[in-house]
Amino acid sequence: MRLVTYVSSASPSPRLGILHGDTVVDPARVLRADRAWRRGDSAADHAPEIPDEMVAFFEGGTRAHGLAEQALAIVDAAAGRGDALVDGASPAVLATDGVRLLAPVPRPRRVRDYLTYTEHAAGSGLAVPPAFAAMPICYKCNVETIIGPEEPLLWPSYTAQLDFELELGFFTSGGGRDLTPAEAEKRIAGVTIFNDVSARDIQMFEMSLTIGPSKGKDFCTAMGPCVLTMDEVDEWDVQMSASVNGEVWASGTTKNRQFSFAEVLAWASLDETVYPGEFFGLGTVGGGCGLELDRWIQPGDVVELAASGVGVLRNPVGERREAPQGSGVASYQGSPEVHVHREH
């Protein structure tokens, strides 16, 4: 099942939807519309309750998933009869070109990104120390600047080297502490595509302090277009590719990773609590960024990241911002350009 968060002219507040053919199905509205159709308008309020928000849906577990499947069956049956499903004044099934998709969880409680692919770590020119194989290691992303499909990637004033990163990651459906990998596995809701947009020059400059990136990453992150639920995911066999202006720059799979989804989550939960709706990136697929290729996106380009089953996360590249005179700090006079040359 491919879950989305959408808005439309009829629904300006974000709602949970399901991609279904060329449509977005609103499962909560479908169940209400169906109940009203069967038993009269006043019966809509007695329809089975299914969350209309993504994280609540994750927490709803198999019951929510079952109701969503029921909603899809109702949609197919209604289509067979030629009936439109309407909940009050709101359509329960919308054409995909009539909605706007947001990031699946517009502001996750936390977003962490782990280095789990050996190839990316080596290809970026970073040393790969023993700690890499011992435990999943992450940095923390900025939950305030997440964008969805079609929104422009923000190009900060202070960088000359904007870059994309081709990544997959998962959302948690449940929380806990001190989880074993077996327990963690039951708390994974599904996956989405994660474009960990990076300003490479300043990122490498600031990471010389070894405490991680901030200005190099925090300005913008793109996620979407949907969450593919785990019942349809083979975590070791997702095919991924990155295209710029229609040309494939990189492709790979999720197979060459040091740790499973469940191991990443179990490790994160050791001695500290994780919560439903958190996002865990798995790092960049080997070769899946401009840095590793020494090819650089420009304003006006269109970046498309694809993952089998999930779809395509498409974003245009914005114009470089101009910061007002006197903003920031006077001591910052730019970062050295970075160019990593891979040996073949």
Instruction: Write out the residues near a second copy by the rule CB under 8 A.
Output: 110, 112, 115, 121, 126-127, 129-140, 142, 144-145, 154, 156-158, 178-182, 205-215, 218-219, 259, 263, 266-267, 269-273, 275, 321, 323-324, 326-329, 331-333, 335
**What tokens appear for 185 in the block?**
């596995």
**What tokens appear for 195 in the block?**
């474009």
Q: How far is the CB of 32 from a second copy (least distance, A)?
A: 35
Question: Which conformational region is residue 149 in: left (phi greater than 0), alpha (psi within -120 to 50 degrees), or beta?
Answer: beta
Q: Which is nearer to a second copy, 22 or 271 (CB)?
A: 271
C-alpha 104/C-alpha 147 separation (Å) is 10
C-alpha 167/C-alpha 305 separation (Å) is 8
Q: Which is nearer to a second copy, 52 or 196 (CB)?
A: 196
Q: How far is the CB of 209 from a second copy (least distance, A)?
A: 5
Q: How far is the CB of 39 from a second copy (least distance, A)?
A: 43
For 313, how many CA atoms within 13 A lie in the half-sphere containing its CB? Answer: 35
Q: Which is nearer to a second copy, 77 or 323 (CB)?
A: 323
Q: Which is nearer to a second copy, 53 or 218 (CB)?
A: 218
Q: Which is nearer to a second copy, 47 or 268 (CB)?
A: 268
Q: Which is nearer to a second copy, 89 or 182 (CB)?
A: 182
C-alpha 339/C-alpha 22 separation (Å) is 42
Residue 238, number of CB atoms within 10 A of its CB? 21
First to last CA, the chain: 40
| Dihedral sign, Cα of residue 114, residue 120, residue 121, residue 125 | negative
Strand partners, 306: 241, 312
